Amino acid sequence: MSSSGPQSPSPRTCGGTSARLHYPLAVDTLTGTPRVRVPAVRCSAAQILRYSACVAHTGYLRTVRYTRVVTTDPVDELLARTELRDLVLRYAQGIDSEDPERIASVFTDDATLNGDSDGSNTGGRAIANGILDYHAEERGYEETMHFVGNQTFDIDGDSATGETYCVALHWYTQDGDRMEHGMYIRYRDDFRRESGEWLIEQRDLTIDEDYIRALPRE
């Protein structure tokens, strides 16, 4: 004998992918209308958009009357993004001001920097000293200016990854001429939050293009 109560819908595939929706039905006690009962989940804004698209595609939009979706705290995510950007800016400022303490402060104790000309150093202090020594002793840079541009971050709890575009200008003197060495850089970073503070645990530096030119004489 078949049950007269509402039945769960057959699983539906969303957009040809392997993602399937399995939600039990419940009956609205006031109207008697079947509703899909969606369990509370923690998800990002992007996941909510994907879920909404899936609902629309499978036709569940006609039966879903409410969803209990708990998003990642938007304030916490906004603060994290602000702190990560500040971390990258402090690194650039530390380089330009030749401040080893400021540079070291953005790295974990076991941090690594890959792709630089002195890539054998591990830890914030060693990374800072290695960069500044290379700039002054091997390249002879007298001044630098790092302009931080586009940034993207992917935050997952106390871990995050990010990519930052940077235009770095380095000035020095050669044979009486004022020279400029420009670099178009991408930083790919792994971040870790320790005791509430975001730090860089690995930085991969890629120089997409660079140039050297003599500046006009005054």
Cβ burial, residue 107 (10 Å; 0-12/13-18/19+)? buried
- Domains of the chain (ranges, CATH numbers): 13-71 (no CATH), 74-214 (3.10.450.50)
Is the predicted pLDDT of residue 101 greater than 90, yes or no? yes
Q: How far apart are the first and last CA of the chain?
A: 97
Burial readout 201-213 (b: 16 or more C-beta within 10 A, e: otherwise): bbbebeeeeeeee
Q: Given pLDDT bands bounded at 50, 70 and 90, which one contains residue 213? A: very high
Q: Do 96 and 146 contact (CB within 8 A), yes or no?
A: yes
Token representation of residue 140: 């002879």
Residue-wise pLDDT for 119-131, tens only, equals 567 899 999 999 9
CB-CB neighbours of 71 under 10 Å: 13
Q: Give the global pTM.
A: 0.66
Both tokens assigned to 108: 């974990």
The reported pLDDT for the residue numbered 70 is 43
Specify the pLDDT at position 11.
44
pLDDT category, 144, cuts 50, 70, 90? Answer: very high
Mean pLDDT to the nearest integer, 96-110? 97
Q: What is the pLDDT of residues 154-204, one digit of tens each?
A: 999 999 999 999 999 999 999 999 999 999 999 999 999 999 999 999 999
Q: Region 84-110: what's the mean pLDDT?
A: 97
Give buried/exposed letters for 147-173 (b at 16+ CB in 10 A, else e).
ebeebebebeeeebebebebebebebe
- Cα-Cα-Cα-Cα dihedral sign, residues 167, 99, 198, 84: negative
Q: Helix-strand-coil percent breakdown of the chain, rounded to 5?
A: 30, 40, 30
Better-scored residue on pLDDT, 70 or 87: 87
Q: Are 150 and 164 in contact (CB under 8 A)?
A: yes
pLDDT at 205 over 80: yes
What's the pLDDT tens digit per position in 59-85?
444 444 434 444 467 888 999 999 999
Determine the pLDDT at residue 197: 96
